Amino acid sequence: MQNIIITGGTGYIGSHTAVALQESGFKVVVFDNLSNSTTDSLYGIERITGTRPEFVQIDCTDLSALRDAFSRHSDAVGVIHFAALKAVGESVQRPLLYYRNNLVGLMNVLLCMTEFEIPSIVFSSSATVYGVPETLPVTEDTPLQPATSPYGQTKVIGETIVRDCVAANPKMRATLLRYFNPIGAHPSGFIGENPSGIPNNLMPYITQTAAGIRPILRVFGNDYDTPDGFCIRDYIDVNDLAAAHVAALNNMLSGTDGVSTFNLGTGRGYSVMELIDAFRDATGVSVPYEIVARRDGDVPAIWADATSAAKVLNWRAKVPLSNTLQSAWRWQINSGEKKS
Ligand code: NAD
Ligand code: UD1
């Protein structure tokens, strides 16, 4: 059985990817400092797959501890590096925390991979690297724009660091995955997104408002140059996203060299209002909302051209939006039950 190290593996996308990897026959080792997650997700993964991944509590910015952990898992054939802080607003307030955590962490992982000769890395990037795109949908060749936040910069710079390391080391290969807007939860309801405090992102705000935890959803702006005036995003089911990581890893393990970059989205954009309506249709629950001013830094519209992932990885988003919204709602209800 091939071993894979997942940094940030107790988090939202990491835990779903751990499930997908285990279901595809890989053995998973999770490295996480639990700064934005708990070990509850390991229990959820075990309930779904029957196997609890090995867990190492570790901070990727601590090089000596990381080296020690890698030395004990030097038989791994690849690393999926999710570990990062991701709150855009906080990154504006605390840029050094974000640059240090996200970039020092990445550099330490790459250093350990080089030392222990682990050849393949998947790096979690983001559609944020496209900024406000001039043409839609965006392909991987759409020019990148200067990032609007330190968080976004860590993705632009992170991609560059990975590319430079692969260019310098012919034994290393990498896949940069640019996620659009991941939403939903595992259909079992055993794992999902666990935002701490008030959510910044739309989907957890919708489910928390639907559950009565938040009184009202504030919709940021209805005067955009889009068909209904609301911002448009490409909402991708987290289980589809997880499957793409397995495909990316298999692509590298089967010998694809160099750096590959893929957009991971559905190829279809939904406006904020369309998503609110789709949530009501899928769950029968109406979410109270009010329209307020635009949020600073919001991109009016972005959705993916994901044909490259389809061609090269044979991966496509499959889960219908209604199922995704139902899984998000199921997870919200389950996590509410756990807290009470
Ligand atoms: P998450 O916060 O749920 O998971 C990230 C995990 O990394 C957490 O468990 C956290 O405890 C851990 N972590 C953070 N810093 C660490 C460090 N220094 N050492 C060890 N562990 C550390 O976030 P997520 O939504 O699962 O995101 C995973 C990755 O995908 C991140 O790199 C994020 O930037 C990227 N991404 C997420 C989205 C999104 O909307 N969720 C969109 C685009 C890109
Ligand atoms: C945001 C980040 C992006 C990051 C991504 C994942 C910004 C500007 N962008 O993307 O860098 O990669 O999260 O973490 O923060 N909305 C509301 N009300 C809400 C919340 C959101 O109307 O309470 C709207 C937003 O205006 C946007 C859409 O919903 O139009 C999606 O927002 P969000 O889920 O925060 O994702 P992004 O802004 O796409």
| Each residue's pLDDT tens digit, 130-145 | 999 989 999 999 999 8
**At 217, is the pLDDT very low, low, confident or very high (cuts 50, 70, 90)?**
very high
Is the CB–ligand 2 distance for residue 309 below 6 Å? no
Q: Are strands 270-271 and 232-233 parallel, antiparallel or unpaired?
A: antiparallel
Mean residue pLDDT of the chain comes to: 96
Which ligand is nearest the CA of 180, by number?
Answer: 1
Catalytic residues: 151
Q: ω before 137 within 30° of 0 (cis)?
A: yes
Considering every ligand atom shown, identify the ligand nearest to the alpha carbon of residue 124 and give its number. 1
Q: Tell me the per-residue pLDDT of 159-194, one tens digit each, with 9 for 90 and over.
A: 999 999 999 999 999 999 999 999 999 999 999 998
pLDDT of the residue at 340: 43
| Spacing, Cα 87 to ligand 1 middle (Å) | 10
Average pLDDT on 318-340 reads 88
Q: Ligand 1 centre and the CA of 226: distance in Å?
A: 30
The H or E element spanning position 47 is helix 40-49
Closest approach atom of ligand 2 to CA 151: 11
Q: d(Cα 146, Cα 240) in Å, to the nearest integer?
A: 28
Which of 32, 86, 149 to mutate to test ligand 1, by most ligand atoms within 8 A of the CB atom?
86
Find the ligand nearest to 13 CA. 1
Looking at the DSSP bridge assignments, the partners of residue 103 are none
CB distance 270 to 236 below 8 Å? no
Residue 306 CB–ligand 1 contact under 6 Å: no
Say yes or no: CB of residue 130 within 6 Å of ligand 1.
no
Percentage above 90 pLDDT, the chain: 94
**Ligand 1 mean position to 8 CA, how many Å?**
6
Nearest-CA residue for ligand 1 atom 9 is 11
Ligand 2 contacts CB of residue 152 (under 6 A): yes
The answer, as to whether pTM is greater than 0.85, is yes
Give nearest CA residue, ligand 2 atom 26.
220
Residue of 70, 28, 63 whose CA lies nearest to 46: 28
Give pLDDT tens digits for 281-311. 999 999 999 999 999 889 999 999 999 999 9
What is the position in ligand 2's atom list of the atom closest to the CA of 199? 23
Confidence grade of residue 35 (pLDDT, cut at 50, 70, 90):
very high
Distance (Å) of CA 195 to CA 185, 198, 200: 13, 7, 9
Question: Where are the strands (E) in the chain, listed by range?
Answer: 3-7, 27-32, 54-57, 78-81, 120-126, 173-179, 181-183, 217-220, 232-233, 235-237, 259-264, 270-271, 289-292
219 alpha carbon – ligand 2 mean position (Å) = 10
**How far does the centroid of ligand 1 lie from the alpha carbon of residue 175, in Å?**
17
